[in-house]
Amino acid sequence: MALAAACKTETEDNCEYGSLTDDRDGQVYKTVKIGNQVWMAENLNYADSTKTPSLLGRSWCYNDSSKYCEKYGRLYTWAAAIDSVALYDGDYGADCGYGKSCMLPLVKVQGICPNGWHLPETTEWSTLFDEVGGRLTAGKVLKSQTGWYNDGNGIDAVGFTALPGGDRDNYGKFSGAGGCYANFWTATNGSDLEAYYVNMSCSYGDYAHPNDKSGKYYGHSVRCVKD
C-alpha cells in the first residue's frame, strides 16, 4: 500500500478527527479515524486507583512529575493496562501481571481504556501499520513532527502523533521521555513474564516494531482503539 497522504482537512478518506470524553474523570482526548479504525490520538492519562484498583502502585507520571503526564500520558504496567483486577478478581485473584499464569478472554479486552474503547492487540496495531504503508514506514508516518531526539521526528501524516513518552523499569528508573522511543502496551500476552508491546524509536528510523516483548513490570504508554 502506498504511503498515506497527509490530512489537509478535518475529514478525508484516510483520516477523520474527533474527540473522546472519558466518563470516569472527564478528560478529553483527540481521536483520529485511520482506515476502518478509530484511535486515540493522545496517550491515556487515567489515574484513579480507587475506581480502578489495578492502578494501585502500577501507574506513574514520568519522573513522578504531573507535567509529563499532561504531555505524554501515564506509564502503566501490563497488569494495569489490561485492568487485571476487573478481569481476574472473581476467579484467579487480583493479579495477572509479572510471573502470573493467566489467559485473557477471547473477546476484546477493555483494560484501562474508557467505555466503548479497548486495549489493542498486536493484530490491530498491524492493521494500522498496513493502512499507513506497512511497518517499514509506519514509524515515520505516525510519529509527531517535533519532540524526538537526534532528528528522529516523523511526519505525523495521519494525525496519530506518537510522542516519545519513555518508560519505567522494574527498579523505578525512568528513561526516554522527550528522547528517542515510544512504547505502547498491547492486549497480547507473551508468557508469565512478558507481554507484547509496540515500539517506535529514533534508532530504527522509519520502522515500527509491532511484535516486541517486554517484561510485564515495565511502565509503558497506552493508546486505545474504538470498539
pLDDT of residue 92 exceeding 60: no
pLDDT tens per residue across span 114-160: 999 999 999 999 999 999 999 999 999 999 999 998 888 999 999 99
**Residue 191 domain-assigned?**
yes
What residues make up the domain containing 176?
A: 15-226
**Residue 36 domain-assigned?**
yes
**Residue 8 domain-assigned?**
no
**Residue 183 domain-assigned?**
yes
Q: What's the confidence (pLDDT) of residue 150?
A: 82
Average pLDDT over residues 92-116: 75
**Residue 2 domain-assigned?**
no
Q: What's the confidence (pLDDT) of residue 35?
A: 94
Put simply, whether the predicted model's pTM sits higher than 0.75 gets the answer yes
Q: What's the confidence (pLDDT) of residue 97?
A: 67
| Structural domain count of the chain | 1
Q: What is the 3-state secondary structure (H, E, C) of the chain?
A: CCCCCCCCCCECCCEEEEEEECCCCCCEEEEEEECCEEEECCCCCCCCCCCCHHHCCCEECHHHCHHHHHHHCCEECHHHHCCHHHHHCCCCCCCCCCCCCCCCCCCCCCCCCCCCEECCCHHHHHHHHHHCCCHHHHHHHHECCCCCCCCCCCCCCCCCCECCEEEECCCCCEEEECCCEEEEEEEEECCCCEEEEEEEECCCCCCEEEEEEEECCCEEECCCEEC
**Residue 7 domain-assigned?**
no
pLDDT of residue 85 exceeding 60: yes
pLDDT tens per residue across span 171-205: 999 999 998 889 999 999 888 899 999 999 887 77
